[in-house]
A and B are shown apart, each in its own frame.
Chain A
């Protein structure tokens, strides 16, 4: 939990940012965290100013691992753009970009409510409720994808723009990641070649979440309360987000619920079409499901290869790495299916 001095510093920051007379903050609990990130649910009693009242907020710090994730300032900018576009995501309130207050940059968001617990959501949602939530997720992705790269939004101009050989660059990045794990991976090498050879032609790049799955959104029953974790967001083929959500590795214990282990693929596509107006390109979605298996498999191998803090963590990481075999198995069948459908 946050030290007393940090809570005091955070209170002062919120008081200034909220233009309040007085602020008292209590840390209610730690939220799920990755890469050394501070992540807390906080209750703020705010006296005076436009935010006066008792507010439930989230303090989200910058990740230590900056190789894969955005800096707080960049993530905050993306959240602002997405929130303004109508995405159901916690409102980004304030940014501390320099680390002057708590030693690391952080942002403050409104708390969305609901639960992001994958096991709870999968257990509680009936088939019909799951379909309605999948439909909502489709609508949300369409709203996010309405932010097109050609709109040249100044606030997120820092995002790298894909060029003509963007998938070759993606393949090179995957190969570099494989070079970082000690065990040779013929299957992933073969799949990366396949992905590079079958890269889709993308006419309109859009802002994509690139990690929307169970655990990265919250709901109360079938009601979506918030989409989180935009730190991997970037310009891509809009179908990538649908493929990532539908990938078999994202379905956890309910593989028959093809939209993220939540609802049906049809419900997801239906929601997407309703907002986007475009047809969903199912074949491109399937391509991205194969890419998702490669991403998930390589990520599992990296977790297994990472130095462990203790014996128990080392064992868990090693077992986690075995998920790469499930990804290998999935992608081989999906490439076969993709090829058969093309004939």
Chain B
């Protein structure tokens, strides 16, 4: 996709400037007011959007490949359908009950959780005193 930037900044840089400005100029004035929690929530949402924009776009593809390997079928690039099929297979206990499959499943689940948590609450894993799991 060819982009025609409106401003000299990239969308990521614009977002960063907006976050810094709101944090410095808005947040202090909302302290002890009913608007404080809303302002913090809005800033957190912007930070998550920023993290998603900066994340490796190949992660979803690797997650998809792992699920396809576990279920032995393809999903034509549709990660959501793949996750839905994996959830259904786990509930139906239709995945092989052998050790290697279960280990692969657990590895996959932990990586999938860690990759999302890294975007939404990157300090959480550090606080748990665990090293972040290897990425996809």
For B86, list chain A residues within 8 Å (CB): 184, 186
For B25, list chain A residues within 8 Å (CB): none
Most buried by A among B90, B110, B128: B90
For A178, list chain B residues within 8 Å (CB): 87
For A326, list chain B residues within 8 Å (CB): 117, 121, 124
Closest to A253 in B: B127
Given A319-B45, A325-B120: A190 and B90 within 8 A (CB)? Answer: yes
Smallest beta-carbon distance A275→chain B, Å: 32
Closest to B110 in A: A332
B116 near A332: Cβ-Cβ < 8 Å = no
For B19, list chain A residues within 8 Å (CB): none
Closest to B37 in A: A316
Smallest beta-carbon distance B78→chain A, Å: 12
A193 near B120: Cβ-Cβ < 8 Å = no
Contact residue among A186, A312, A333 (Cβ-Cβ distance under 8 Å from B41): A312
B117 near A184: Cβ-Cβ < 8 Å = no
Given A190-B105, A255-B127: A329 and B90 within 8 A (CB)? Answer: no
Given A193-B91, A312-B38, A333-B130: A186 and B83 within 8 A (CB)? Answer: yes
Contact residue among B45, B87, B88, B110 (Cβ-Cβ distance under 8 Å from A315): B45
B113 near A332: Cβ-Cβ < 8 Å = yes
For A192, list chain B residues within 8 Å (CB): 91
- A311-343: CB near B (< 8 Å → 1, else 0) gives 010011011001001101110110010000000
Chain A, interface size category, equals 20 to 34
- B76-116: CB near A (< 8 Å → 1, else 0) gives 00001001101110110100000000000110011011101
Question: CA–CA, A179 to B128, complex, Å?
Answer: 30
For A330, list chain B residues within 8 Å (CB): 128
Closest to A187 in B: B109
A329 near B114: Cβ-Cβ < 8 Å = yes
B105 near A187: Cβ-Cβ < 8 Å = no
Residue A185 is within 8 A (CB to CB) of chain B in the complex: yes
List residues 156-205 of chain A with CB under 8 A from any CB of chain B: 175, 178, 183-187, 189-190, 192-193
Question: CA–CA, A208 to B130, complex, Å?
Answer: 33
A329 near B41: Cβ-Cβ < 8 Å = no
For B114, list chain A residues within 8 Å (CB): 329
A315 near B128: Cβ-Cβ < 8 Å = no
Closest to B92 in A: A189
**Chain A to chain B: the 6 pairs with minimum beta-carbon distance, closest first:** A184-B84, A184-B87, A189-B90, A184-B83, A328-B113, A186-B87
